Amino acid sequence: MSAPANARARVRAQLTREIVDAAQRELAAVGAAGLSLRAVARRLDMAPSALYRYFESRDALLTALIVEAYEAVGEAAERADAGAGPVPERRWEAVARAVRRWGHEHPHEWALVYGSPVPGYRAPQDTVAAALRITAVVAGIVADAVPPGSAATGRLPAGPAGLGPALAPVAAVLLPGRPPEIVAGALMAWTQLIGTVSLELFGHYVGATEDFALVFDYTMQSVAAVIGLPTT
Amino acid sequence: MSAPANARARVRAQLTREIVDAAQRELAAVGAAGLSLRAVARRLDMAPSALYRYFESRDALLTALIVEAYEAVGEAAERADAGAGPVPERRWEAVARAVRRWGHEHPHEWALVYGSPVPGYRAPQDTVAAALRITAVVAGIVADAVPPGSAATGRLPAGPAGLGPALAPVAAVLLPGRPPEIVAGALMAWTQLIGTVSLELFGHYVGATEDFALVFDYTMQSVAAVIGLPTT
DNA sequence: CTTGAATGAGAACACTGTTCGTGTCAAGGG
DNA sequence: CCCTTGACACGAACAGTGTTCTCATTCAAG
């Protein structure tokens, strides 16, 4: 991210960028399963082995694409939130629609991020930071709607005694001082959003509805009502 | 499924079964991305080309595994439902736990079914029938809880005018005569269940909670309350 | 100017899915 | 009973893959 010192590092950074771009185009065309290192090399008129100077394996390249996709969907959510005015319910609705739209525009990237983990298991450290971006958006909406110390306001039932401690890690980072039902509600809302878009994109709603956009909007409105987002 | 006529067909059916079994073991070991036709053949002491007498491609074999997995998770849900007594809320809770348990016990199968579609796009006709099994279970619980003609009972907001027509296809098959909010609620419940297990298995909750089983139970209870499942 | 590291190319290896031709063997018809 | 036909399994082959070497080139720093 910072400016490279010598010219050598500058051209290296640029070529790394070009590789990722080419890989992104390849991903959009054929999907993660069909993404071939050699095809990326062909796009760039390079020898396949030359790519190994920049990414130590195909999985490392995929990890870079995962980070890129997380950033992109996070940015889409942030932009929608920023342009949605002050009403929490409207902010949530705008973010949900933007996320769904991004998924429709980038189905392969979506599958890469929210579908099955491609390698044995994901490299956490690089990706979690980028993944946090979208969760921070939905947590921010909830956080603005229910200030610290207030009681649960939605239509969720009272949680068991252990709910607070169980959710302590995520609450500490994203929603400090809120009742556990609110934290769980935010988690549920995020899950419902990602889950709905995933099931739609992966074809699990095929034949279920005539107009899924309408059902999606109603679903997200319901979620907002359930967790108690103010409509004014 | 029916008894094969001649002995030739019988041994063929048995070998087909053995191939699927071997592929299942291979899938459980290395996952869908790493499932190799040749490895399956090695397990059976066969030449790789011999498998093509039984499955016309690797994707066809994967499709068979997908159907198998759908059946298995559907059966797990059915068994849990059957042994849960008459109370809808308890039935839902039992089904949800059983589905989550199955996912934990068969993560690769889960990813195969609910993760990213592996080939270009799935062969629908073979899989949708098997996929319907689990949805029928959750729809059955809702159907028993709210008889045809009754009004919406849960805590969901009133839907827009177009909601009914939009949901007509799924309503006709699974929940005829119920108000659209109920149909949408059942869809949301199913989505929340599949989405929560998927995000958990795919590692998206890592670091968020100390005891996810507890959060899961609370989430599913909340869903039941929201869509209005009776607790007695 | 020289040395050393970074870079790219090419060949090679061990895999993969898939196709094709050939031999084998059992069942059914004459 | 023989003989044909179909199904079967195999082995070789092809195109493609990720990855690892070795080798030459080039560019920047001492």
Do B166 and A219 make contact, defined as CB atoms within 8 angstroms? no
Is the confidence at residue A123, as pLDDT, over 70?
A: no
Could you read off the pLDDT of A4-23 as tens digits, one per residue?
Answer: 567 788 889 999 999 999 99
For the CA of A7 and the C1' of C1, the distance in angstroms is 22
Asked if B155 reaches chain A (Cβ–Cβ under 8 Å), the answer is yes
Cα distance between residue B146 and residue A165, in whole Å:
36
pLDDT given for residue B119 in this prediction: 55
Q: pTM of this prediction?
A: 0.95
For the CA of A127 and the C1' of C9, the distance in angstroms is 33
Could you read off the pLDDT of B138-156 as tens digits, one per residue?
Answer: 999 999 999 998 888 789 9
Could you read off the pLDDT of A138-156 as tens digits, one per residue?
Answer: 999 999 999 999 988 889 9
Among all protein residues, pick the one whose CA is nearest to the C1' atom of D27. Answer: A8
Asked if A187 reaches chain B (Cβ–Cβ under 8 Å), the answer is yes
Burial of A223 (C-beta count, 10 Å sphere; 0-12/13-18/19+) = buried
Asked if A125 reaches chain B (Cβ–Cβ under 8 Å), the answer is no
To the nearest whole percent, how much of chain A has pLDDT over 70?
A: 95
Q: Residue B175 — pLDDT band, cuts 50, 70, 90?
A: very high
Cα distance between residue B184 and residue A224, in whole Å:
15
For residue B108, what are the CA distances in angstroms to A117, B31, B32, B123, B147?
10, 5, 7, 19, 38
Give alpha helix (H) positions in B31-123.
37-43, 58-82, 88-105, 107-114
Angle between the N-to-C axes of helices A212-227 and B180-201, in degrees from 0 to 180, rounded to the nearest 10: 80
Window B:36-95, CB contacts with A under 8 Å: none
Cα distance between residue B200 and residue A184, in whole Å:
14
Contact B202, A116 (CB under 8 A): yes
Mean pLDDT of A165-181: 97
pLDDT given for residue B2 in this prediction: 45
Beta strand spans in A129-220 (E): none
**Chain B residue at shortest CA distance from A172:** B208
Q: Rounded to 10 degrees, what is the CA torsion of B62, B68, B69, B71?
A: 150
For the CA of B53 and the C1' of C23, the distance in angstroms is 17
Closest CA to B59 of B119, B114, B108, B117: B119
Task: Find chain A residues with C-beta within 8 A of B220's C-beta.
Answer: none
Does the nearest atom of strand D lie within 7 Å of A35's Cβ?
A: yes
Q: How many angstroms away from the CA of A49 is the closest CA of chain B?
A: 23
For the CA of B212 and the C1' of C14, the distance in angstroms is 42
pLDDT given for residue A1 in this prediction: 44
Of B159, B168, B218, the CB nearest to A160: B218
Asked if B231 reaches chain A (Cβ–Cβ under 8 Å), the answer is no
Least trusted range by pLDDT, from A24-28, A89-93, B121-125: B121-125
Closest CA to A32 of A118, A153, A128: A118
